[in-house]
């Protein structure tokens, strides 16, 4: 027989951990399902200094562990598995996983989005030590230092503009000969004296000793290979939301993000979404946590109402 819960939370990032804290504290029988490491993308942040309550900052890993400890203190259960599907049966949701089926009265989806990786040597090794995927999180650590941004869309150009307020020099590398960002963002970037552009260029390797020191570059047009000295590299080549299994369950936008209202409700009664996985998320830890709290409160009202 499938085990029954009041609430099942899919995804163990800040949104999921906060949702679990709130549902467990209200004595709802709650299960958190996580396919990887608790904390989600937050764990990749070497240091977080913009989360309230930690004036000296805190590592993403430590913050994730503290959130997890607080949630499990109130009885939140954890299952490490991959969710395959959700079968919506009126007031009952059957969550199908690699570890079997589980039944809940309400489901909160907080699976987040996976940042697209370059897949080059050194990227994994230097993540948190010069390799970053979030300038809002890490730009202050590169005050007066040269950095690179990889990408050509709105996100990448926005990252470069934000970094220009801190870094000595920002070099944008793009595999094409023109940006995909909106004209207004392009105009701002081209007008910023601190930002340079390397066209037709890809990163082949990230090198250094204790932290990032240089990039190995390849010009796809000329074939020329070169080295760029930087203290950090910000990868901004897109996000892939973890929603492949939800395509026939809840409405998604063109990017595959879940569409919700301000109460984190989807169009399917009893299914909520919070954090980076939902449409219009600002992809910040504090915002994801707020989403998780809202979703948990609304899930309780759905169950008890």
The catalytic position among 6, 137, 276, 291 is 137
Cα(first)–Cα(last) distance of the chain, in Å? Answer: 27
Q: Mark whether 138 is an active-site residue.
A: yes
Query: Dihedrals φ, ψ of 209, to 5°?
Result: -105, -80
Helix (H) or strand (E) holding 287: helix 285-304
Q: Quick one: tokens of 218?
A: 């390849």
| 134 catalytic per annotation | yes
Containing 214, the helix (H) or strand (E) segment is: strand 212-219
Please tell me the distance from the alpha carbon of residue 53 to that of residue 22, in angstroms, as a whole number.
19
> Could you tell me the two tokens for 303?
């169950």
Active-site pick, 6, 138, 276, 291:
138
Active site residue 254: no
Which residues, other chains included, contact 274 with Cβ-Cβ below 8 Å and sequence gap of 6+? 15, 16, 19, 108, 109, 110, 260, 264, 288, 291, 292, 294, 295
> Do 90 and 105 touch, CB atoms closer than 8 A?
no
Which of 49, 56, 87, 134 is catalytic? The answer is: 134
Residues with a catalytic annotation lie at 134, 137-138
């Amino acid at each position: 027989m499938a085990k029954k819960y009041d609430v099942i939370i899919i995804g163990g990032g800040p949104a999921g951990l906060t949702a679990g804290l709130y549902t467990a504290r209200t004595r709802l029988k709650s299960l958190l399902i996580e396919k990887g490491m608790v904390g989600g993308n937050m764990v990749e942040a070497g240091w977080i200094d913009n989360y309230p309550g930690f004036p000296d900052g805190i590592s993403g890993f430590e913050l994730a562990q503290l959130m997890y400890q607080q949630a499990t203190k109130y009885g939140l259960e954890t299952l490490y598995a991959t969710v395959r599907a959700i079968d919506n049966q009126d007031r009952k949701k059957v969550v199908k996983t690699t570890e079997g089926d589980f039944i809940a009265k309400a489901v909160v989806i907080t699976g987040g989005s996976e940042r697209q990786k370059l897949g080059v040597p050194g990227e994994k090794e230097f993540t948190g030590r010069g390799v970053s995927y979030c300038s809002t999180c890490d730009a202050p650590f590169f005050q007066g230092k040269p950095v690179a941004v990889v990408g050509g869309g709105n996100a990448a150009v926005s990252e470069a503009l934000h970094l220009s307020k801190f870094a000595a020099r920002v070099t944008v590398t793009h595999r094409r000969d023109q940006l995909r960002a909106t004209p207004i963002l392009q105009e701002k970037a081209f007008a910023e004296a601190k930002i340079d552009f390397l066209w037709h260029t890809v990163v082949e390797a990230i090198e250094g000793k204790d932290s990032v020191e240089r990039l190995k570059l390849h010009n796809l047009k000329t074939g020329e290979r070169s080295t760029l000295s930087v203290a950090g590299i910000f990868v901004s080549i897109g996000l892939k939301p973890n929603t492949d299994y939800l395509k026939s369950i809840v409405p998604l936008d063109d990017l595959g993000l879940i569409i919700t209202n301000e109460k984190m409700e989807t169009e399917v009664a009893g299914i909520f979404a919070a954090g980076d996985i939902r449409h219009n998320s600002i992809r910040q830890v504090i915002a994801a946590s707020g989403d998780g709290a809202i979703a948990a409160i609304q899930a309780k009202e759905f169950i008890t109402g």
